Amino acid sequence: MSTTEGKADAAAVEEMARSATAWCAMHGLVVGDRADPRSGTVPGVGLVHAPISLLPSRLPESFWSQACELAPLFNELVDRVSLDGDFLQDSLSKTRQVDDFTSRLLDIHRKMMDANKEENIRLGLHRSDYMLDSETNSLLQIELNTISVSFPGLCSIVTELHRTLINQYGNLLCLDAKRVPGNDASRQFAKALAKAWDEFNVDSAVVMMIVQPEERNMYDQYWLVKYLRESHGITTIRKTLSEVEAEGQVLLDGTLVVNDRKVAVVYFRAGYTPNDYPSEAEWNARLLMEQSSAVKCPSISYHLVGTKKIQQELAKPNVLERFLENKEEIAKLRQCFAGLWSLDDEEVVKSAIENPDLFVLKPQREGGGNNIYGFDVREALIRLKKEGGDALSAYILMQRIFPKASLASLVRGGVCHEALTVSELGIYGAYLRNKDKVIINDKCGYLMRTKVSSSDEGGVAAGFAVLDSLYLTDKVIGPVTCLILLGKSGKK
């Protein structure tokens, strides 16, 4: 495995990739294989290793510290905004006219407001996503996710994979495994769910995970099931929305019962996309759960806080001051905001039509593959303007972030290839409050996703990116290049 002869170096990379994929299989870093029709419904059938970066991505430690410091601030902000029902309803009033999905969510939210429904126990498992903008050398927020934040289970294992590879091939890489920060997201998420279960205080109750009928990312979810059972003695049941509608009821005292099991916590890993509601049965289930006394993660109000339109509203001058008092914390949050605009702003729309590459057009959708980029931004805006009315309200415009691209080795389906890539950092956060007592407000691990720089979208489950981890450094930005492939020695 010489580092001077190109062929030998390439062979060394292939050996490392084989070691990595074998390690994935042995340690549960797996997803369902799309080629197997049963892989999304039958556990243990049709497994492949999760798509991964062979080595971690570099990030200056100062930006890592900044992102971690922001997590509890965003947790608190989500809770504060969720309490202002009128703000949510008013901010999304135009969006609901042209977006049926948002409208249905708002209908449920309004029913809870009219009923004066109180959520004494409030649980949020969030993820704030960032990119490092090369134009300004600043960490800018892409979005704040409040429902079904994925990969806390698998991303925790990627960290250990990269530490293992660095230790195993240290003579070739010249990297320090201690510079890969630990990632305990899955255990921390399970701990937060368990704490909420404790606060509900019904020993026979279960945690109910709401899942899609076909879920190839089920193993990420099963890590949480494992830790809830082994570390906290709590049983988890998995149900689709349609199963909840068929098997569920709310008792007179507000208790949610599904298939004769009392439910303490409803944890949503589905319900964030219109595709999850193919019939009225699914909407009935969502309303049923919201009417119950079970802890919802997220509640309908937390869900709405995570919409793109609310993100854009919070970026307006003086809006954060409506919800937060600490000026220093407000300044820290505002510092990471990218440019965000309503399509009511004619000057910005005109600018985006003239310079579409500088903007991203975002609809009220989650899950990857929904945003509009480049020339398509111009085409979409011209079409929306012609349609008139409230059509523009279904979208927001966001400043496009330009991270620095670097070479990295990506492994998908057992095949390793080198490409120019960019990375996106997500910081997980957990927030739990019972009435006035804040029980948890903290960061709890991270998700690093790396994608080919020519790809606009970044979802792993959607097939655009791979799972990655961090390599903290003082100043170098970008993925750790697979040095043995290039025939060069590395510097920490």
Query: pLDDT digit string (tens) for 189-226?
Result: 999 999 999 999 999 999 999 999 999 999 999 999 99
**C-alpha–C-alpha distance, residues 211 and 256, integer Å:** 17
Amino acid, single-letter form, for residue 347: E
The two three-digit tokens of residue 63, written as one number: 């930006």
66 among annotated binding-site residues: no
Please give the residue that has the higher pLDDT: either 192 or 170: 192
Look at residue 314 and tell me if it is in a domain. yes
pLDDT more than 70, % of the chain: 92
Residue 169 has pLDDT above 80, yes or no: yes
Residue 355 shares a structural domain with residue 243: no
CATH code for the domain in which residue 348 is found: 3.30.1490.50
Residue 233 shares a structural domain with residue 310: yes
Look at residue 27 and tell me if it is in a domain. yes
Q: What's the mean pLDDT in 376-402?
A: 85
Look at residue 1 and tell me if it is in a domain. no
Which listed residue (362, 378, 433, 443) is catalytic?
362
150 is catalytic: yes
Residue 479 has pLDDT above 60, yes or no: no
Residue ending a domain, among 400, 427, 445, is: 400
424 among annotated binding-site residues: yes
342 is catalytic: no
Residue 456 has pLDDT above 70, yes or no: no
Residue 330 shares a structural domain with residue 370: no
Look at residue 152 and tell me if it is in a domain. yes
Domains: count for the chain = 2
Among 133-137, 196-200, 468-472, whose mean pLDDT is lowest?
Answer: 133-137
120 among annotated binding-site residues: no
Residue 390 shares a structural domain with residue 262: no
Residue 190 shares a structural domain with residue 252: yes
Please give the residue that has the higher pLDDT: either 367 or 307: 307
Look at residue 29 and tell me if it is in a domain. yes
Please give the residue that has the higher pLDDT: either 255 or 461: 255
Residue 263 shares a structural domain with residue 411: yes
What is the C-alpha end-to-end distance of the chain, expressed in Å?
21
Look at residue 100 and tell me if it is in a domain. yes
pLDDT value at position 387? 80
Residue 110 has pLDDT above 60, yes or no: yes
401 among annotated binding-site residues: yes
Which listed residue (39, 75, 145, 183) is catalytic?
145
Confidence tier at 11 by pLDDT (50, 70, 90): confident
Please give the residue that has the higher pLDDT: either 58 or 10: 58
Look at residue 38 and tell me if it is in a domain. yes
Q: What's the mean pLDDT in 284-304?
A: 98
Which listed residue (286, 308, 309, 433) is catalytic?
308
Contacts of 405 (CB under 8 A, 6+ apart): 420, 421, 422, 453, 478
127 among annotated binding-site residues: yes
Q: What's the mean pLDDT in 389-408?
A: 86
Q: What's the mean pLDDT in 102-124?
A: 97
Residue 388 shares a structural domain with residue 448: no
455 is catalytic: no
Confidence tier at 9 by pLDDT (50, 70, 90): confident
Residue 12 shares a structural domain with residue 70: yes
Residue 488 has pLDDT above 60, yes or no: no
Residue 305 shares a structural domain with residue 351: no
Q: What's the mean pLDDT in 430-459?
A: 89
437 among annotated binding-site residues: no
Residue 41 has pLDDT above 80, yes or no: yes
- Report the chain's mean pLDDT, rounded to a whole number: 91
379 among annotated binding-site residues: no
The β-bridge relationship of strands 437-452 and 415-434 is: antiparallel
Which listed residue (119, 143, 245, 313) is catalytic?
143
Residue 357 shares a structural domain with residue 436: no
Confidence tier at 461 by pLDDT (50, 70, 90): low
Residue 37 has pLDDT above 70, yes or no: yes
Render pLDDT for 260-293 as a digit per residue (tens, 0 to 9).
999 999 999 999 999 999 999 999 999 999 999 9
Residue 146 has pLDDT above 70, yes or no: yes
Residue 458 has pLDDT above 70, yes or no: no
pTM of the complete model: 0.91
Residue 369 shares a structural domain with residue 285: no
Residue ending a domain, among 353, 371, 400, is: 400
Residue ending a domain, among 349, 378, 400, is: 400
Provide the phi-psi class of 259: left if phi over 0, else alpha when psi is between -120 and 50, else beta: left
367 is catalytic: yes
Confidence tier at 88 by pLDDT (50, 70, 90): very high
38 is catalytic: no
| Structural domain boundaries, residue 393 | 339-400
443 is catalytic: no
pLDDT value at position 391? 74
Please give the residue that has the higher pLDDT: either 396 or 298: 298
Look at residue 491 and tell me if it is in a domain. no
Confidence tier at 449 by pLDDT (50, 70, 90): very high
491 is catalytic: no
322 among annotated binding-site residues: no
Please give the residue that has the higher pLDDT: either 69 or 392: 69
Which listed residue (163, 301, 449, 469) is catalytic?
449
215 among annotated binding-site residues: yes
216 among annotated binding-site residues: yes
Residue 296 has pLDDT above 70, yes or no: yes
143 is catalytic: yes
Residue 254 shares a structural domain with residue 344: no
Which listed residue (127, 163, 187, 195) is catalytic?
127
Which listed residue (32, 366, 426, 469) is catalytic?
366
Q: What's the mean pLDDT in 77-103?
A: 95
362 is catalytic: yes
